[in-house]
A and B are shown apart, each in its own frame.
Chain A
Amino acid sequence: MSEREWGFATEYDDVSGAVAVCGVGESDHTKASGRTVQEIVGTAVERALDDAGLAPTDVDGLMYIPLPEQFDVAAFHAHFGTDHDMWESRAGGGMRWAATAPYEAAHALRDGRARVILNTFGVAWATQRSQMVGGPGQSHAQELYKQNLEIPMGWFPQPVYFATVARRHMHEFGTRQEDLGAVAVTCRRHANLTPAAVMHDKPLTLDQYLEAPTIVAPFRKEDCCLISDGGAAYLMTTPERAADLARPVVEVAGVGLGNSVTGAHWAQQPAFTSTPQVFAAPVAFGMAGIGPDDVDVYTCYDPFTIHTIMQIEDSGFCEKGGGGDLASSGALAYDSGVLPTNTHGGLLSHAYVLGIAHVVEVVRQLRGEAAAQVPDAAIGVYGGYTGPQASTLVLRRR
């Protein structure tokens, strides 16, 4: 099988300029807190409404992912004491959907199904872990090919899969342990600057990273994302309506979605050290009429350090294999001016809200409101990821 056959882009029509993000909000991000997912998301939604200057009754569209306890229409009405009709879509949430929800929203706005659309995602996995349920490994453990071919061998869960990918990436491209460390340290520095980040008060140096014991060599704990309680929300409407609201207009310039034919069976993915960003990013950048060099700030779904390096490469910010060198050059720092990346700290050091806070961060950067602000950021990108799929969202300050 050639590299070309390992995946494909989903066909998207042009939604450039059809939808704007008009309000963003996050819950508090914490270790185990005892909060439920709906409490967490409810707080994030209140803050997004405050940010936009909108009332709950102004929201007539709701997007989420059909996982347990997500913020559906019933939860929305229970939280706010409302009962109006709402358009509902289950193609929202975090991960790759945090990038593609605006694509679905653009169509709903165009078709008149809704005027203001809310997308949310939240987890209480830090709380649930102490109750021995939930967490990112659970759904994988229930997949039967994994249960019968991978788990018995010990090739499980996610830290094991992606440490295997990282080691192969080191072999193919000369990526070094220090390059993975540069990603972790840069994210931590950004989190140290971001008061809301779970790791705000915990500095990390490259020496500390290298001296830490491995847990799944070549990964140390610091190569792996946090497990935390938290959620985030963003509101979407047309750019015209957004212009009448409280906040500066941030519009969607491009969206793309890429797919891997081997799905979540990473062991069999022919392009083992790549992500479906290879297919997603060109669609989004093409729709936006920009190239990778035009991007001022980048966030990407970073469950492990290697994912930042691979998505930077696969999105065309450097040649394939050059991501490690780029990270070690300092290019990912918010004040570097080259490719400021995960400027809030990412899943590694900000919070494990599966990417939706990455979109919130890009919006704040483009409004000039971020804690680790990139000077005069005008174009920002979020790279979403689930493994089987990756997505790219280009946002632009109007």
Chain B
Amino acid sequence: MAGERVPARPRAGRPAGPGAVTMETRNEFPLPDLSWEPTAEFWAGAARGELRIPRCSSCGRLRWYPEAECRLCSAEPLAWETMRGTGTLFSWVVVTHAFLPQFADLTPFIPALVALDEDRAVRIPTRMVDCDADSLEFEMPVRCVFRPLTFTGVDGSVAAPLFVPA
């Protein structure tokens, strides 16, 4: 995109800059809470290398996010399915300023929304990896890869569905 300049990667472990967000929370934050029931199957699937998304048992549409009630038909029951792991790039940004101290070692990185091929209304918050930000295009085909998430100052890692150009 014209006029965008991405500064050099800051040195590892630098403190987060202005606008930084801090809060008291779980020790493993910003890793997900694998025990939180609504998204437990999403993360359990990722650990097996599967992109798991629930479908509403009543209206038959994918329910994303996996809320207790279907936003479209108000029904509660849902069933998890494994997606093909393909989609298109809906939008993305290039983060060069770490808003969380835990993101300091990641910059620059590319948070993105990917529209799933099974239902383009379902957008997965994710990160584009193994690519140059300048090479990204709207609606380009992308595919899911599973990579460990790690964060500055946080023990452990969790496998997550990230995306690469298809």
Contact = CB atoms under 8 A, between A and B. Distances in A.
B80 interface: no
Size band of the interface chain A makes with B? 35 or more
Contacts of A155: 111-113, 125-127
B20 to A, nearest CB: 8
Contacts, number: 159
B25 A165 contact: no
Contacts of B100: 151, 156-157
A153 B162 CA distance: 8
Contacts of B96: 213-217
Interface string A148-170: 11111111110110011101101
Contacts of A145: 38-39, 65, 67
A138 B93 contact: no
Contact of A160 (B95, B138, B149): B95
Interface string B89-110: 0111111110110010010010
B25 A217 contact: no
Contacts of A270: 121
A135 interface: yes
A177 interface: yes
B19 to A, nearest CB: 7
A214 B127 contact: no
B31 interface: yes
Contacts of B3: 177-178, 210, 218
A133 interface: yes
Given A1-B72, A164-B92, A177 B2 contact: yes
B23 A147 contact: no
Interface stretch (A48-56, A259-267, A307-315): A259-267
**Most A-side CB within 10 Å, residue of B7, B39, B106:** B39
B11 interface: no
**Most B-side CB within 10 Å, residue of A160, A165, A177, A261:** A160
Interface in B27-54: 29-33, 36, 38-39, 42-43
A141 B25 contact: yes
* Interface class of chain B by DSSP: loop
A213 B125 contact: no
A141 B16 CA distance: 16
A268 B38 CA distance: 16
Interface string A103-142: 0000000000000000000000000010011010110011
A74 interface: no
A339 to B, nearest CB: 25
B71 interface: yes
B65 A153 contact: no
B22 A132 contact: yes
Contact of B39 (A142, A149, A272): A149
B22 A148 contact: no
A132 B99 CA distance: 13
B99 A148 contact: no
B121 A1 contact: yes
B166 interface: no
Given A141-B25, A268-B64, A218 B93 contact: yes
A213 B95 CA distance: 11
A157 B113 contact: no
Contacts of A221: 18
A227 interface: yes
Contact of A135 (B21, B29, B106, B126): B21
Contacts of A164: 91-93, 111-113
B99 A157 contact: yes
A157 B21 contact: yes
Interface in B55-99: 64-65, 67, 71-72, 90-97, 99
Contacts of B18: 221, 227
B160 interface: yes
A30 to B, nearest CB: 16
A153 B127 contact: yes
A267 B123 contact: yes
**Most A-side CB within 10 Å, residue of B18, B96, B113, B138:** B113
A178 to B, nearest CB: 8
A163 B65 contact: no
Interface of A: 1, 129, 132-133, 135, 137-138, 141-142, 144-145, 147-157, 159-160, 163-165, 167-168, 170-171, 177-178, 210, 213-219, 221, 224, 227, 261-262, 265, 267-268, 270, 272
Q: What 4 A-B pairs come out closest when comparing CB atoms?
A: A137-B21, A215-B97, A217-B94, A168-B91
Interface of B: 1-7, 18-23, 25, 29-33, 36, 38-39, 42-43, 64-65, 67, 71-72, 90-97, 99-100, 103, 106, 109, 111-113, 121-123, 125-127, 133, 138, 149, 158, 160, 162
Given A141-B21, A217-B6, 18 more contacts: A132-B22, A133-B23, A137-B19, A137-B23, A137-B99, A141-B25, A145-B65, A148-B32, A149-B39, A149-B125, A155-B127, A156-B100, A167-B91, A168-B91, A217-B1, A218-B1, A227-B18, A268-B65
11 contacts: A132-B22, A141-B21, A144-B33, A147-B25, A148-B43, A154-B106, A160-B95, A167-B92, A177-B1, A217-B93, A262-B71
